[in-house]
Structure formats: C-alpha cells, structure tokens
Chain A
Amino acid sequence: MGEGMILKIENLHVKYGQVEVLHGINLHVNKGEIVTILGANGAGKSTTLNAISGLVKVSSGAIYFEDQPISKVPAHRVVELGVAQAPEGRRVFGTLTVQENLNLGAFTNRDGDNIIQTLGWIYELFPVLLERKNQLAGTLSGGEQQMLAIGRALMANPKVLLLDEPSLGLAPILVKAIFKTLKEINEAGLTIVLVEQNARAALKLANRGYVFEVGKVALEGPSADLLEDPNVQNAYLGGNH
C-alpha cells in the first residue's frame, strides 16, 4: 500500500446469490481526503461501502485498511478498527431516543472521557440534536435523521467515515448545510468516502472522484477534472451549461 493511503480496494468482486454486482473494483483513499463515488442506481456504490464495512460477503479481491486486510473481518470488528458508516436511508433506531442512538454509535468506544468529548463536538456540529436529545429518533425530520446518522457514526471515533447518500430526499438548503458540516468534519482530520447521486455538490466537496457504471469503475480523477469531463457532464450533471 502506498504512502499516505488509508484504504485500498483491489479487484473487488461481490455476488448477490448467482448475480455478480461488482466486477473488479479498484479504488484507493488517501489519509485526510474526501473521495466521492458517483454513479446511477445499481452501479454498485452502496455494495462497495457495505463490502468495506463487512456487511456483504466479498467473493474475491481484497480490501486493505491501514495495510491490514479486512475483507474477511466481521462487521462489528471493522467498526472497532476505525471505519464507521452512515448507511443509505439513514437507518436510525426509530424507537430509541436521539441520545440512545448516539450512545449506540459509541458502542465500541470504551473511553468515557473521549465519548463525552465527541458527544460535545457532535452537538456543536448539529445543535438541533442537542435540542432533541430526548426525542425518539423516528419523530425527527429527514434532515435531522441524517444529522443523527452522521453523528452516530462519528461517535465510534473512526478514522474513515463512509457516507451513503447523505443528501437523499433532503431539501437543497439542508444538503448545503450538511455538506458544509462534512467539510468541517474533514478538516478535523477525518477521511471521508462519500457515495452520492448529487454529483455536482459531491464533486465540489471532494478531492477526487470515481464514477461507477454497472459494477465497474468507468472514470476516476481529481474532482476538478471530473467536473470538466464532457461524459460526466452529460451523464451526471445535466449536460453542458
């Protein structure tokens, strides 16, 4: 693994039953970067994140986190190693309170002082969560639930944060706010892998991007280059403006 690389995926194949959905993905993430994965529905973006998190079985290929192979490590151990995910559709625990959700995020974190410190930081990033800390998560709005999902992932004190479509179903003004917070989180030292359909916003935030097409990497490069790429513009940015 190269210098400064924190996450590396080599020739990753994943099958759901008989159907192969990832046909050899190669991808790397450097320490401190924001990397975005773009692509249409069914391109394999979420599957890639879930393979990293250990939620789906890898049929061949390798995933390295800090030089350690993790493709066979069970999901709960991956979190302990330092990779947390805010999953697609938020998946907050709706019948538990905001506070309980955040505490669950810190399940692997045994350091009490650190938990209190991280919690303070999350409430700073998302003050609305502090206001609603005793409310059931299911009663929050979509945007607040997304903030909770991100906050919950941060509670694990990860080195890499995987985000699966944080903009899904949110009003543009909320997307803007959340992306601004992601920038802050990144500046605090966290590496971020961001799966998005909102390509323009994602590329503006990220250092580099990958474009997936039906389970393969179709394009990759620095965000600025991808934003200028005519293929990307036509397919994901609504043509030339």
Chain B
Amino acid sequence: MEEFFQQLTNGLAVGGIYALIALGYTMVYGVLKLINFAHGDLFTLGAYLGLTLLTSLGLSGHLGTVLGLIVLAIMVTGFVGIAGALLERAAYRPLRDSHRLSAVVSALGASIFLQNTIMLIYGAKNYVYPLDILPRTTLHIFGLPVPLVRILILTASLLLMAGLYLFIQKTRLGTAIRAAAIDQGAAKLMGINVNQVIMIVFLVGPGLGGVAGLMVGLYYGQVNFTMGWVYGLKAFTAAILGGIGNIPGAMVGGLLLGVIEALGAAYISIAWKDAIAFCVLIVILIVRPTGILGERVADKI
C-alpha cells in the first residue's frame, strides 16, 4: 500500500508536468493543425532560464522562497512565451499558406536549432539546480508519507491548468481562440484577428512549457540540453491520449500518463518506463485515435 501510494503521488507530480507541456502541443494543434516539434526544446529553454535566473538573481534569497519562486516562474513564463511567439513569427507564419508538410519540416528544424543554441550557450554538460530551494520535508497523509515537493508541483500545475481553462472558457480572447480553432475563416468574419490569436497561443503554450521545465529542474535537480526530446515525446503522447486539440484532454492525458508510467515502472520494470509510455501511445492510436476526450479524428501530422 505504501509503495503504491508513493508511486501514485510521484506519477501525479510528473503527470502534472506532462500535462502542462501537453497543453502547448494541443493548443497549437488546435488552431494551426500543426505539431510544434520545437515545443520540447522550449521546455528545455525554460529549465535553463530558470536555473540561470535562480542562480544569478538569487530571488529566493531576496524575496523569500514562496514569493521568489512565483516571480521566477512568471519570468520564465514570460521569456519562454516570447521565444515561442518569435518562433511562430520566424518559422511558421511564413509557411502558413504552404503545404502542411513544409511547416512540419520547419518545426523539426526549429527544434534542432533551439537545442543546439542551448548547447552552444550552456555547453553539453549536465547542470544541477541548487538543492535547497524547495523544502525537502515529507508530510504524512493518513499515515502515508508524501514528499512536500510533489504536493507543491501538483498544486502549481493544477492551478495553472485551472487558470488556463478559465481563460479559454470565460474570456473574450479565450472564446476567440476557440472560434479560430474551429474555423479560421469564419472567425475572421466575426472580426477576430486570427494572426493575433495564433500569436497568443504561441505565447501561452510555450509559456506553460517553460514553467514545466522549471518544475522539472526543481523536482529532479538536474537539467541537460537534450531533456526536451523525451519530455516532449511524453507530453505529445499525453496530448494524443487525451485527444489532440482538446484542452481538458491534455490535462487528463498528462496526469493519466504520469500515473501509468510511474505504476508501470514500479510493478513491471523501471527499465521499461519509457516503453510503457509509448505502448500507451500505440494502443491509443489503434483503439481510439481520437483520444479520450477528442471528437475529431487526428489527421496525418
């Protein structure tokens, strides 16, 4: 029972991170029908920027741990969001009217470009986050031990998801995003500036991915320049699992994938952790290609 609970909480924490990254894939797919392969590298950028800002500004020293981390998260979101918007401008907008495959190739190119840029700036070695940022205490819930870090990570990701959900469902801009995802032409006829909507999607999606990068750094304590590849693939799996293009789907898919992966690693074999995640992808594509909450059939990338 105790091990199951351990794995469950670990899975939920990692799942929350997957969900945050998956939201970026699914939002971009929603409006552009494009898989942004550079999204994983924007996540990496978030992890590195977080580390740099953390060590150079010493925010948690000046402002206290809680406020310091919030300011840090906002800065990372902002910077990575801007990077995402620039990426859209440089790599995707010029290809908006071209064949879809061109944009996919451009996305792969952007991924390689970003990954190598990070390597050139920081070098190819692993970096370690300062360990004393998050409290390493363990709480006891119903007599079962849970590290506080996991609760913080899960709470933060759930709060961000709730915020995004409210933004999409309740605000004027959110409705515009939903309209543009359904029918861009009709959205233009409503007076919606679709280019602006796409830019906002590329601010918000990568922004959330960037925060997820920061969370991975804080949770695992270590970052390297290729980390975006695996996290990107896992989050992509989560987005497909929930139904690509569907925002609640990405949240559910992320949490579910995290839990499946953690339980699989514990009860089957830790060496098979990644294989289990990708088996989920294969099974979902065979059995229910629209994902758990998706209604549209995912077309070819």
Contact = CB atoms under 8 A, between A and B. Distances in A.
Nearest to B172: A107
Interface string B191-207: 11110000000000000
Interface in A66-102: 74-77, 79-80, 84-85, 87, 91-96, 100
A93 B188 contact: no
Interface in A26-56: 53-55
Given A76-B192, A79-B191, A152-B190, A104 B175 contact: yes
Which interface residue of B178, B182, B183, B189 has the most chain A CB atoms within 10 A? Answer: B189
B179 A87 contact: no
B189 A85 contact: yes
B57 interface: no
Contacts of B179: 93, 96, 104
Contacts of A104: 175-176, 179, 187, 190, 192
A60 interface: no
Nearest to B196: A76
Contacts of A79: 188-191
Contacts of A92: 186
A107 B185 contact: no
A105 interface: yes
Contact of A156 (B178, B182, B191): B191
A96 B182 contact: yes
Contacts of A94: 182
Interface in B141-165: none
Contacts of B188: 53-55, 75-76, 79
Nearest to B97: A57
Contacts of A95: 182, 295
Given A103-B175, A104-B175, A87 B186 contact: yes
Interface of chain B, helix or strand or loop or mixed? Answer: helix
Give the interface size class of chain A: 20 to 34
B190 A107 contact: yes
B190 A156 contact: yes
A16 B188 CA distance: 19
Contacts of B192: 76, 104, 107
Contacts of B186: 87, 91-93
Contacts of B182: 93-96
A83 B213 CA distance: 46
A233 interface: no
A75 B186 CA distance: 10
A186 interface: no
Most buried by B among A76, A77, A100: A76
A108 interface: yes
B137 to A, nearest CB: 45
B178 A84 contact: no
B93 to A, nearest CB: 14
Contacts of A153: 189
B183 A91 contact: yes
B197 to A, nearest CB: 10
A145 to B, nearest CB: 12
Contacts of A53: 188-189
B190 A105 contact: yes
Given A103-B175, A107-B172, A107-B176, A93 B183 contact: yes
B208 to A, nearest CB: 23
Nearest to B189: A85
Interface in A192-208: none
Nearest to A153: B189
A104 B194 CA distance: 13
Contacts of B295: 95
B189 A87 contact: yes
Contacts of B176: 104, 107
Nearest to A95: B182
Contacts of A103: 175
Contact of A75 (B172, B178, B183, B189): B189
Interface string A123-165: 0000000000000000000000000000011001000000000
B285 to A, nearest CB: 23
Interface of B: 172, 175-176, 178-179, 182-183, 185-194, 295
Closest 8 CB pairs of A and B: A79-B191, A108-B191, A75-B188, A91-B186, A76-B193, A107-B191, A107-B190, A104-B190
Interface of A: 53-55, 74-77, 79-80, 84-85, 87, 91-96, 100, 103-105, 107-108, 152-153, 156
28 contacts: A53-B188, A53-B189, A55-B185, A55-B189, A75-B189, A76-B188, A76-B190, A77-B191, A79-B189, A84-B189, A85-B189, A87-B186, A87-B189, A91-B185, A93-B178, A93-B179, A93-B186, A94-B182, A96-B182, A103-B175, A104-B175, A104-B190, A107-B172, A107-B176, A107-B192, A108-B190, A156-B190, A156-B191
